[in-house]
Amino acid sequence: MSKIAVLGAGAWGTALAMHISNRHQVSLWARNSGHVSGMRKSRANPLYLGDFKFHDNLQVEDDLGLAIQGADLILSVVPTAGFRNILKNIKALKSTLPIVWAHKGLEPQTAKLPHEVALEELGDPKISGQHWGALSGPSFAAELVRGLPTAVTLAANDAAFALQASHLIHGGNLRVYNSTDVVGVSVGGAVKNVMAIAAGISDGMGFGNNARAAMITRGLAEITRFGMALGAKSETFMGLAGAGDLVLTCTGQYSRNREVGLQLASGKALQDVLKGLGHVAEGVNTAREVIRRADSLGVDMPITYEVNQALTHGKSAKDAVMDLLGRAQKADGV
């Protein structure tokens, strides 16, 4: 039996920890000692995941050193904004354990994807020997924890490590495919959140199923253009971490990013929407950072642009959609 250290006790981190604990020892770390104390007492995470009880193999820690001690793999599920700091803290503990992250987004201010942050903080695995990778795909915590079938992709530059790490997480109702396209998996997981906000706006405006399907399809074209400009493989965007995650996030009832779009369409201010959400909606910060990055790469991303206008520049949801509809005609598939 292996030990996995899961860092971050939000809904997705807790669901993954609970799933993995069916076959392995798991240490679930959270920064807030009060949150940890509550989980220890209830043997559940009512703050984020209801009353689902923890397996005996799952222990909760607020001490990072204790959490990763004796682990075979670190699974980081902290918000993207805190990822760099977590890597710095792991390095300070002299740990060279392999790390897989399962959060999705771009780092605020730098517009860097998680794999770029990992490269800066941990170095090239071929040189350092410390492997790292990304776990992403169409996955709602509320369904995984209920035992419903879920499939995701684990990507690492080293194919052998991708396979080894996927074996540790794969099993039961969770199927884990492996890939070597870390860039594509990271981009798909990040940018689909922006498209989900757009889909939520479209649905909230009452534009119907035709419009949502168009939004998803054109959104996938944007994600693919952006990813390939960064060195991703186009086929990745046809898989779980691309089209799969995009469709789920744009249509699923548990999608926080889609909910942001729905509420913006109803006329609510972004600040009020986020206050009532209670969870992180990564797409809000990601839209701004993607546009900044896309501009530097010369990549056209009209949906992302309009979402960012609505989120950070006060543009009304209706005006954003109407400006998208008023764009010049172009060939499909580009």
| Any domain includes 151 | no
The pLDDT of residue 201: 94
Residue type, 25: Q
| Any domain includes 164 | no
Residue type, 239: G
Same-domain check for residues 110 and 195 = no
Tokens of 13: 């981190």
The pLDDT of residue 332: 72
- CATH (domain of 311): 1.10.1040.10
Residue 30's contacts (CB-CB under 8 Å, 6 or more residues apart) are 8, 9, 36, 39, 60, 61, 62
Same-domain check for residues 188 and 121 = no
Give me the residues of the chain with pLDDT under 50, please: none
| Collapsed DSSP state (helix, strand, coil) of residue 230 | coil
Same-domain check for residues 113 and 47 = yes
Query: Which domain-ending residue is among 91, 116, 146?
Result: 146
Catalytic residues: 192
The sign of the dihedral angle between the CA atoms of 147, 152, 157, 158 is positive
| Any domain includes 174 | no
Residue 168's contacts (CB-CB under 8 Å, 6 or more residues apart) are 2, 4, 20, 24, 72, 73
Same-domain check for residues 115 and 195 = no
Same-domain check for residues 202 and 113 = no
Same-domain check for residues 198 and 312 = yes
- CATH (domain of 136): 3.40.50.720
CA-to-CA distance for 254 and 138, rounded, in angstroms?
12
149: exposed, middle or buried (C-beta count within 10 Å: 0-12, 13-18, 19+)? Answer: exposed
Tokens 């691309």 -> residue: 242
| Collapsed DSSP state (helix, strand, coil) of residue 156 | strand
Same-domain check for residues 113 and 232 = no
| Any domain includes 161 | no
Same-domain check for residues 189 and 267 = yes
CA-to-CA distance for 165 and 154, rounded, in angstroms?
8
Same-domain check for residues 36 and 136 = yes
Same-domain check for residues 19 and 118 = yes
Query: Which domain-ending residue is among 91, 124, 146?
Result: 146
| Any domain includes 153 | no
Query: Which domain-ending residue is among 146, 175, 202?
Result: 146
269: exposed, middle or buried (C-beta count within 10 Å: 0-12, 13-18, 19+)? Answer: exposed
Same-domain check for residues 232 and 300 = yes
The pLDDT of residue 324: 84
| Any domain includes 178 | no
Q: Which residues pair with 132 in a beta bridge?
A: 99
Give how many domains the chain has, as a whole number: 2
| Any domain includes 156 | no
Same-domain check for residues 101 and 212 = no
Range of the domain at 254: 184-325
